[in-house]
Structure 1
Amino acid sequence: MQKQQSAPKPEKGKNRAPLVCAIVGGVIALLFVLLCGFTYLYPNVFPGVTAGSIPVGGMSLSAAERAIEEKSAPLYEDADVSVKIYETTYDIPVASVLKGVDAAQSAQNARAIGRTGNPFSRIWQMVKALAGQGDAQLAATVDADGLNKALTDIAKEALTDPVEPTWDIGEDTMTIHAGKPGVKFDGAAVEQALADKICLMDFAPYEVDTELTETPQIDMDKIGEAVIGGPVNATVDKADGKTIIPEKPGVEFDQEEAKKIVGDGTAESYSIPIKKTAAAVTAADLKEKLFRDTLARTATELNEGNVPRTNNIRLAAKAINGTILNPGDEFSYNGVVGERSEARGYKPAGAYANGKIIEEFGGGVCQPSSTLYMAVLRADLEVTERTNHSFTVAYTPLGEDATVDYGSLDFRFKNNTAYPVKILAEQSNGQMIMTIVGTKTSDKSVKTRTEVLQTYGFKTVEKKDNSMKVGQTRVDQSGITGYSTRTYKQITENGKTTEVLANNSRYDSRDKIVYVGTIEPEKPKPEAPKPETPAKDPEQSGEQTPETSGGGEAPPAEQDIDT
């Protein structure tokens, strides 16, 4: 008898999977429905949403607007938006580039998060907001002109050409700093990016994409030309005559050794051994001794009654007065005094021209130049250009005059002392006075000596004048004696006197021209015979015998010529 087999029992839980899936699906569907309902029906700004970092989640539209209006201003009142360009960071005050914030529109922007797109998109936006990623843009209005100006000011500094290598001089070494590349960037793109950041109230530093040009190489030959040299003494600022410009030491270094140290020039800096030589005149020394001594003082006489000539001399003296020459500087009379023109106040006065005396603007300005030349000789400064007059002048000794003519003849000299010198020029009390002040470094004194090598006498030339009677004369041109001279400086220092040639001068002679009359006197006509009358005794009659005189006009005395 066969045994009846029983049916297999179903496995425990095997038929529950579809049920679970159905339940989960139902829950998800329900959740989706609920989320969709929440998304579409929730009236306020979704939770977690911010407007430019201002929390407005859960607020009604009007409440969000009030919150934004109240809290937006403090966000940018003291805030800066930072711009990093290459190695430098620039801060732009937000208040200077922001016109204001539209609170109503900003609130609308916040409420719009989670309310655009299909249901899935809306739910995703809402979920992100809950996760802290729902930042709505503030409806801020950027001041385009203000932002453009701020970036333009930054660009003036940040947009740079390549920077050449620099160096610092130490006691025993010179530090050479490598050059820097030039910097370029897209200004329009930076402006747009900053505008977007300001609208979002995003004040995190913004790093600008820059384009760098090639860095200049270290050229030791070029650096050597600029650095190697002897010491430079302290000097004075000629603009005010008081400010001391510090001294510079002399610097030497081995250029070939320096090239080896620099090598390929890839390091930021290099240390080069140097040898320094101290300057002879330091700033402290110059401050103590500046303009303390009178190196020379000279004066020449003039007739102040000649008003036009005196005017010209005073104008020239005014231009010269206070002129400062640092060591090595050259003085130019024409350069300092300038053109002698009517527009500059000069008057016509007597002057030499082509062997004659003429009236020209600036006549007389040779007296200040000659008086200054006399002082320069006695101060033992280096004369670089000087010309004597064509004829002798009355106001200086032979060999000590200096004629000038703007555009052709100049008087120049250099300050060959170790200290600055100043020229003081004054016209007063019938004198032209020149004083040179500086700093004496010894007991040196200078005198001048002039020897006459040859004398050129003048002739008297007579010319006929048919408008004058015989016996009458008129001097048309006075005679001038000429000379050939040699002038020396006698320099006494430390008890020893040496003589140095200062100049050779030649002054022309000029003939005296005298006009004589040619008109013969008329002969008296013969008188008819008169009847004889008895002679009368003059003593008895009381009559006087008439006196007669003859001869022409006496010539004027010769005058010294003063130009």
Structure 2
Amino acid sequence: MLRRGIKRTRKRNNKDNKNNKNKKIIILSSSILFLFVMFISVIFSLINIGNKKIAIGVKIENIDVSNLTQEEALEKVKSKYQEKLLSDIKVKYEDIEETINIEQLNPSIDIDRMVREACLIGKSGNIIKDNYEILFSMIFSNKINCNILLDQQEIDKKIEEINSKLPNALEESNYYIEESNLIIRKGKPGIIIDIDKFNELLLQTVKIEENRNFEIPIKQNEPKNINIEEIYKDIYKETKDAYITEDPKEIHPEINGIDFNISMEEAEKILEEEKEEYIIPLKINFAKVTISDLGKEAFPHILGIFSTTYNTTNTNRVTNLQLASEKINGTVILPGETFSYNKVVGERTIAKGYKEAAVYSGGKVVDGIGGGICQLSSTLYNAAIYSNLEITSRSNHRFMTSYAEAGRDATVSWGTIDLCFKNTRKFPIKIVSSVKNGVVTTEIYGMKEEKEYEIVIENKVTEVIPYKIEYIKDNKLEEGIEEVQQYGTNGAKSITYKIIKYNGAVVSKEILSSDTYRPLERIIKKGTKKAETVNARTEEGFSQENINEINPELLKMIKEL
């Protein structure tokens, strides 16, 4: 028993000794490893002491700034982002393609902050932290995200412009006053741009160098419900006469009293009917003294003027121009108010006297009610720019026009595309419009301010898009005969600037628009009808056999006839 106990004790002691020995080895190995790591770290730190260059593997977005000084990194990143911000982005939905000029969205990037952040990697003064950051960057790379800020108001304008061009687009309910009636048009469900997804895709695309385009994200939407109480609050006015005060010099326009000519309950009952258009009768009390009665005292100066020419022989088109011109002529816009071409002109219908004239539709020139009134909206658009007014809504035509240069037109379409501008001046303004002797002229009158600016419009075509030729077979035309059905026009890309000057010196230069015009293809009808051949007898009564017997010289003379 004693021997067994002694043996067990010896075994236990041997085991403990062995464990102790292993522990010592582990401790020694760990110490050596720690010292080695510390030695390497110290050496690594000594190597990087005074190294002002950015650590290897550091990127700002996808731009490699490894081993660059702060100045070199700044120059490289600025150069790269300047390229990105000057490059347009193309967005597309089905056959609609729009160009977004990033410069127009007032981009803001804190490049200095990003480069400073890159320079601080591995340079905190903490050996362990610095070495970890440097090694991590070398092995896995270290990416600093770029934060680009874009002007959301400008993005919203572009979204609104594209929305107006979408097929089967959402139509919100709208209303306007016509004579002594309030016209309320019921909206229609349709597609609109998904704003959140659009913004996300836009920011992603701005940061990349290649494939700078994306598909426009859309969603189906229902129009907002008609709120008759909100409409009433908007249109209700109390009658006031126009007057001018001298100190301070202020023009107070007249206000015509407007109220429902029926009760609110009756108006709500009308809206319960299933109709596309509702008519609410109004009671209008006209002011005794209008701003027009104040005459030149209220509108002494021409602020902006523009003219375009038209073909006087196209009588239907001339009629449409004259009708629309009569509607906008004399319109007074108060400070802070927004003018809407569609609201003032109203819907273009046969009942109102509008005629059929050429319009662009589906990539072709066709006849449509009210054709030609876009010439008036384009003329007014230019006059508004020269008057230094804020353009809040404007779209270019799908194709180039004959009356306005690229970037100088403004298309309109009832219920969708509108021309709107805001009176940002101190005093009311008045539109004077005329259509006569082949010239459309719009003038904007008002009172000049103490500091009046000169406006210059500069537009240039950046790319010409050649038109294509389409041949269509026509079995009514003989073979070899061709007939032009539609003349083609080249498309173009353009950029238009508004330059503001004071005493001849440039104060500012801003992008008004970046436009794309599609080429209008040339369509040629090609005859496929076989020419009639004479078999039994010619028109002169000769048989083919007789003709063969005729003297060759005589036969030649007959054929030439």
Larger radius of gyration: 1
